[in-house]
Homo-oligomer: A and B are copies of this chain.
């Protein structure tokens, strides 16, 4: 049964850490393989044969796909509790590359497993909904809204991990943030500057301190129109 912290944090009754805990308690779970990944190293690469899903235990990852021009585009940012590799199920081949943003540790999950099986469709469905929300943001939101939402997302995740939601260190460059948000790095930088002028936050390079969470939330609304 999901514990209180889980259900309140996730907003629904689908809590992966709980599921994992259950899974780990089964005989199968006893031999779940852990794996460590160093900062900058890939956990898996786009196109590689798919065999395992991974749950992030420690650290964070970015996922990316290669554009047809060879440029990499950042498609995701993942922390502790997130599942990586879901997009590999379709063709039994990874559809994205996952790279550790800091030294990290994952648990490998055999995807045909009695413990995970019943959870899998719901996990995937949740990802689907999230992706759509992200799409709506990127399509309908201004640069400011995108960056503000991104920062709120990071803050929320930091909080989940037990860190401050008010002050954190971005593990992505302006370039990578821009790629993730469909913006150029200069635009990301300008938005940061503007938010700083408005005393919504203070940034120094990748270090961010949120001064006015409410104002940040307000900035994440739709176009100024």
- A positions within 8 Å CB-CB of B: 12, 14, 65, 67-69, 73, 75, 86-91, 95-96, 111, 120-129, 131-132, 134-136, 138-140, 182, 222
Q: A69–B222 contact, CB under 8 A?
A: yes
Bound-complex Cα distance A185 to B88 (A): 36
Docked CA distance A67–B139 (Å): 12
Chain B residues with CB below 8 A from A126, complex form: 90-91
Cα–Cα, bound, A126→B92 (Å):
10
Residues of B within 8 A of A91 (CB): 12, 14, 126, 129
A-B contact pairs, 12 of them (CB 8 A): A12-B91, A73-B136, A87-B128, A90-B123, A90-B129, A91-B129, A124-B124, A127-B128, A128-B128, A131-B131, A131-B132, A139-B182
The reply to whether A122 and B89 contact each other, CB–CB distance below 8 Å, is yes
Q: Are A134 and B136 in contact (CB under 8 A)?
A: no
Interface contacts beyond A87-B125, A87-B132: sample of 14 additional A-B pairs, CB < 8 Å, sorted by A: A67-B136, A68-B222, A73-B140, A86-B125, A87-B128, A88-B125, A89-B122, A90-B125, A90-B126, A90-B129, A91-B126, A95-B132, A124-B128, A139-B139
A179 to chain B minimum Cβ distance, whole angstroms, is 9
B-side contacts of A135, CB under 8 Å: 75, 131, 134-135, 138
Q: Cα distance A128–B88 when bound, in Å? A: 10
What are the residues of chain B within 8 A of A69 when measuring CB–CB? 222
Contacts of A89 in B (CB 8 A): 121-122, 124-125
- In the complex, the answer to whether A90 meets B139 with C-beta atoms within 8 Å is no
Interchain CB contact (< 8 A) of A138 among B88, B123, B138, B222: B138
10 closest cross-chain pairs (CB), A and B: A139-B182, A89-B125, A124-B124, A90-B126, A90-B125, A131-B131, A135-B135, A120-B121, A12-B91, A95-B129
Task: Report the separation of the CA atoms of residues A19 and B99 in the bound assembly, to the nearest whole angstrom.
Answer: 35
Query: A131 contacts which chain B residues (CB < 8 A)?
Result: 128, 131-132, 135
B128/A12 in contact, CB under 8 A? no
Which of B120, B124, B127, B136 contacts A65 (CB under 8 A)?
Answer: B136
Please, which residue of chain B has its CB at the minimum distance from the CB of A131? B131
